[in-house]
Structure 1
Amino acid sequence: MKRDEQRVHRAHTAPCQEPCARSCTGPSVPEEAVDPLPVALGLDQMDDYRQQFRDMRRQCGGREAVEHWSGTLLDGWLSWIAYEEGRERPSLDDASWVAHLIVGINEVLSIRDALILTLLTGYGTGEGKAEGQVMTRRMLVDIAAQPHSSEHARVMSDTLNRVFHTPQSPQAQSRCRRGLVLLKAICASVPEECRVQALAMIAYISWWLGEAGARAHALKALELDERCTLAAIVICALEQNIHPNGFRS
């Protein structure tokens, strides 16, 4: 079991080899009734943004392009997950921002991983520091752009290990639920073909919170793309009754 838990810690970088990861096909699951964002993007628009990102990576180099792309989407993301209950939510009605996020997490998995870290740990000198975390915006961009550097790999591993074994704080739970609300709204605003990694993020965070929707969203991601490793690992964790913080159902 210890080895299985370590595999879940490394869910973003190591594919799960358990039988459940290879055979977790199943019937379609119904989408939850979620209000979409006040923007809607068609498949042609998403293809244009995807090509724009690929052209940027080819012309500028992968690291510089990812730094620019992730920097563009991080500010809106961080403002959303950090807003306080009872206050007006940040407005995310910019179609370009939604497209940057979806293209970013689908094209470069380290961008997805950086966003997951913001939900699990907080960031900056405010909420994150109060929870004993040291994640900063600069670190998040660096992790997205240079995921294979030894320093960033260590930060990622240490952070996931810590949050896996640390009881969830009320701040972290609220932050993760804000992230889920946003990701579900984004999924409702983009073509189904573009939702794979957003669904995998929803599955992972739902699993981390112990919420029932984890399996359904993981299966939906795998229905759209059977190569989605993160969704497969969520299924593995659920099948083997592995949960964060030592919890077993």
Structure 2
Amino acid sequence: MAIKTRKISDWLSANGQAVTNASKATMEDAIRTDIGQLYDGVFIMFHRKSDNYPLAVRVSSWASYQTGGEIAEGVLLVEGGKHLVIAPTEASSAKWSSKPVSSSDTSGSVQISGVTTTSDRIAALNDFAGRANTTAIINGSTSSNVTNTEDYAAGFCNRYSRTNANGKGLTAGRWWLPSIGEMAMIWANFDKINYALSKINGATQLQTTWYWTSTQRSATGAWYLYLNDGGVFNYYKFSQTRVRPVSAFLN
């Protein structure tokens, strides 16, 4: 027996209703909003050694790739139309910059231009410009205010590198110090990211402690986030705390 079908518009018309331009537009807007989130989730990213092509696979599938000699470059987090690749390892202790040297000696402190700078916590949380921030921090490094070596947060991230057996992948210069908004994404997905990291050989899991961000507060301070309860605070740039580089799903 054949199955009879009817157009939705015909059914609505038969029941005293109609598809209007207004409802059509509303439906299209809703679909566009949702479609960017259809693939939200956590994956493991790598550049395939056979052709250096970037791929991201489900965490449950990673073991076979790793056994085959593939090297994970990081955990790919996709959320609400944004994405980050979280590095498998981190710096356990780094300063934001060399100035100020202490809370009692803030002479020579520098507010680096081109970096998102705010004293407002809400405005700071809306900063997702980590890559641009890091570039500005690196470019703003001077002999009297150092930011670009591995001893400092942005410098460590800028020099970070993860590659496949051919030396291809997310090389130095492709990583950055996450902004406070980007770090908040990591905090919100803490358990899922750590589960993915647990499947990567040699990876270091995220810690429930403070992490630097590239969002600046002033000449003397920058913002950091507590990956235990999501606390957002600012502190002196000479403070030593953890640093986790991030990148993008790049060729």
Q: Please give the TM-score of this superposition, normalised by the length of structure 1.
A: 0.22
Whose helix fraction is larger, Structure 1's or Structure 2's? 1
Whose strand fraction is larger, Structure 1's or Structure 2's? 2
Q: Please give the TM-score of this superposition, normalised by the length of structure 2.
A: 0.22
Q: Which has the larger radius of gyration?
A: 2
Greater RCO, CA 8 A, separation 6+? 1
